[in-house]
Structure 1
Amino acid sequence: MSDLKLFNTKDGVAEVAPRLAVVEADVQDLVEAHMEAMLGVRFLASEYSTGPVHGGRIDSLGIDENGAPVIVEYKRGTDAGVINQGLFYMAWLLDHRDTFRHLVRDRLGVKVADQVLWSAPRLICVAGDFTRYDVHAVREHRHAIDLVRYRYFGSEHLGLEAVASFAGRAAGVRVGSRNRGTAKVQRTAAGGGGMAELAVSLGEVLLGLGEDLTKVTNQTYTAYRRMQNYACLVPPKKAKLLVYLKADPATVDLVPGFARDVTGLGHHGTGDLELTLQSERDLERAADYFRQSYALA
């Protein structure tokens, strides 16, 4: 159970006791109505039937900000079967890619459907709690799995806490699998020096902020993700790196030539704060911006 305590300080100090939903559907309905804000996932369908042969219903289907298919399964309390149930549906999804692509096309258009990232499908389990066996299980699995604990606080607040987040063995890079030898090989392959070496250093910094971070690459950028993207790196240009962050541009110092607000401007990746990095010194200057974005994801 979460150790988080919430207090109302309006008239003195009074603890707001956490509680579970009355029924599982309460959580599902709320998350589906605000899925992009809560999970960084665009909602596609609820209680999606897998057909008479497979005989199941996926609680929620969506697509995340990197174009990866997402299955979301909900449980009111602690349920040892939630992960296996989700993986059962994941197997169906990977065998029915055209069905999912048609769903995306109908809901979000042809362009989004053509860019589905099948190398990184995700399972998000939202439940009242998880056991240590659940955390161990997802750590060993080849698929990307996020365990998210929920709690209601009073009648107006819902808390979501990432208990565990693992990229899986086929989807991306997990902090625990990274090592200095790999970074050295990447630098050597890139010819060393310049933007290629700076990009490798940037990746190490972005992944080093927490144990719950994963890295996902699609056709246009590399995303560094917690529960949602917190930083996106577009392919290096000749003399600079462009990084897009989740931090609100209105809350940070916008330094000409280094940090700017790109709200409403078209660009690859997610986030409205753009950083331009040209040296290791710029990478050091960016540390506070990275931490602020990480906290929001």
Structure 2
Amino acid sequence: MGDLKLFRVTDGVAMEVPGASLAVERQVQSLIERNMEAMLGIRFLASEYETGPRHRGRIDSLGLDENGSPVIVEYKRRRDANVISQVFSYLSWLDDHRHEFTMLVQARLGSDAAASIEWGDPRLVCIAGDYTWHDEQAVGSMGRRIDLVRYRDFGDGLLTLELVASAPAPPSAVRRRATDRRARGAAASVASSQGVREVLEHLPDSLRDLYEELHSRLIAPGDVESVFKQHYIAYRRMVNIACVHFQPAGHTIVVYLKVDPSKVELRESFTRDVRDKGHWGTGDLEVRIKSRADLERAEKLIRLAYDAG
């Protein structure tokens, strides 16, 4: 998560395009809100949302991310602004006004989205032209999901959003081992409605080992975090790059990747275009992993998803 540089290459000669780390102005907020799903993987709900007399605030942007988590977005307009403390104060409003938020989601996105809100995992996103060293260091000790995103304007219609710091994912259950071998042997009967954590806990050893290796490859770049949802595990940078779902009865790990299926060669029983098919999580390319050989074949596709995220 270092300094981002942009170059224009002409006849083999690279010239750096200077970028301005400017204060986020109102028109930038409006641009991001109009394109929030494409830029941040967040479905926009409301702008300048009043929190009422008790909380005495106005939330810059409200949204719902691709995993169903409520999102509070704040734009830091001055380098010395204490926006991180401000967004934390808005969490208490969210806790007190779940019904109001649900009604907002239902009005903007429909009843299905409202019914699938993940209340246990709200996100805080701060967008700024720059951050202090103290801002970046503070994120890891907050104990909540918070992303610091840097905005830079390169002119000529070019702008970047760079994830410069992110709170760590919840403690992973990857290495937890079940002590009840009989329960583990009954993995085929475990329903996904019991939650992905419980499914993971009761996987057969061979499938769990395969998942641990997949997990290591998904987080290998260093800036990818895993987020446990009810029915799948999301791997995300600023947006999801992969969603992992288990099918113990078929001894299969199903991975949905942020990859355009039309850009890769599809292989029967291994990869599938799911753009028009419902599935858990996000991602247009389905990859079915049953063996280490499948995992090796998936390596290139995982890199493509990372580049797209």
TM-score normalised according to structure 1 size: 0.88
CA distance in 1, matches of 2:211, 2:14: 48
1:98-247 to 2 correspondence within 5 Å? Answer: 98-167=99-168, 172-173=170-171, 183=175, 185=177, 189-190=201-202, 192-206=204-218, 208-239=219-250, 240-247=252-259
Matched, 1:56 2:67: no
How many residue pairs get matched?
287
Deviation at 1:138, TM superposition (A): 0.9
Q: Match of 1:6, as an amino acid?
A: L
Cα distance change on mapping 1:22 and 1:77 into 2, 3 Å: closer
Q: Counterparts of 1:281 and 1:113 in 2: how far apart (Å)?
A: 40
What is the RMSD computed on CA atoms of the aligned residues? 2.3
Q: Which is further off, 138-147 or 73-82?
A: 73-82
* Contact 1:209 1:291 (8 Å CA) reproduced: no
Letter in 1 for 2:19: P
> 2:23·2:129 contact (CA, 8 Å) conserved in 1?
no
- Matched-pair contact (CA < 8 Å) for 2:258–2:308: yes
Partner of 2:70: 69
Give 1:7's aligned residue. 7
Instruction: Find the aligned partners of 2:20 and 2:88 in 1 and give their Cα distance.
Output: 28
> CA-to-partner distance for each residue in 1:120-171, whole Å, 9 max, x for gaps?
1000001011122112211011210000001011130111111011246xxx
CA contact (8 A) 1:17 1:153 kept: yes
Separation of aligned partners in 2, 1:262 and 1:114: 23
Q: 1: CA distance between counterparts of 2:228 and 2:110? A: 22
Using the alignment, how far apart are the partners of 2:203 and 2:227 within structure 1? 23
Aligned-partner SS, 1:18:
coil
Q: Which amino acid aligns with 2:94?
A: L
Instruction: Report Cα offsets for 1:234-267 as digits up to 9, x if no partner.
Output: 2324222211000222233322221222221222
**Cα distance between partner residues in 1 of 2:61 and 2:265:** 39
Cα distance change of structure 1 residues 186 and 275 upon mapping to structure 2, 3 Å threshold: farther
Could you tell me whether the CA contact under 8 Å between 1:21 and 1:27 is conserved in 2? Answer: no
Please state how far the C-alpha of 1:75 moved relative to its aligned partner. 1.9
Instruction: Give the equivalent residue in structure 2 for 1:81.
Output: 82
**In 2, Cα distance between equivalents of 1:14 and 1:191:** 53
TM-score normalized with structure 2 length: 0.85
Is contact 1:230–1:246 with CA below 8 Å preserved after alignment? yes
Give the Cα–Cα distance (whole angstroms) in 2 for the partners of residues 267 and 2 of structure 1: 35
Distance 1:269 1:107, change over 3 A: same
SS of residue matched to 1:26:
helix
Instruction: Tell me how far apart the structure 2 counterparts of residues 288 and 76 of structure 1 sit (CA, whole Å).
Output: 40
CA distance, structure 2, for counterparts of residue 201 and residue 144 of structure 1: 25
SS in 2 for 1:134: helix
Secondary structure of the residue that 1:289 maps to in structure 2? Answer: helix
Offset, 1:85: 1.1
Conserved? CA contact 2:241–2:257, under 8 Å = yes
Give, in whole Å, the separation in 2 of the partners of 1:54 and 1:95: 10
SS in 1 for 2:79: coil
Shift of 1:195: 3.0
